[in-house]
Amino acid sequence: MSSNAVSIHHNAALLSVVEVTAPLEVTSDMLDERLAAVLKRLRLPKRLLERVAGVTARRMWEGPEDYVHGAAQAGVKALAEAGVSPDAVGLLINTSVTRTQLEPAVSVQIHNTMGLAPWA
């Protein structure tokens, strides 16, 4: 196997995969329009970000806290789809790099928004 890391799990199961899509779409063309003066001043070509990153569009939330509600909505939806009671959740791990404040961590905000037990 050619990869950076290999993880082997025992007695583990993936019960549900869901998504909640952020409502705002920002395309590479939109970014090029906003950055036109900078790209021209630096003599950089249009569509540079798209060519370098391979991303043609990004999704964004309308407000700075909306991503917490989106993550919580996905969590609640995943638990329901898997038939798992929120009381059965003992740990919530959030791997996003989004953060509007130092503490509490985003996972705590998502945990509370989902209405999970305080001991989890």
Res 7: pLDDT:
86
Res 54: pLDDT:
92
Residues 6+ apart with CB under 8 A from 57: 25, 26, 27, 28
Could you tell me the two tokens for 33?
């329009």
Q: Among candidates 65, 55, 52, which has minimal Cα distance to 22?
A: 65
Please tell me the distance from the alpha carbon of residue 20 to that of residue 110, in angstroms, as a whole number.
14
Q: Residue 1's pLDDT band (boundaries 50, 70, 90)? A: low
Res 120: pLDDT:
66
Please tell me the distance from the alpha carbon of residue 14 to that of residue 75, in angstroms, as a whole number.
13
Q: Is the pLDDT of residue 37 over 90?
A: yes
pLDDT tens-place string over residues 52-108: 989 999 999 998 779 999 999 999 999 999 999 999 998 888 888 777 777 778 888
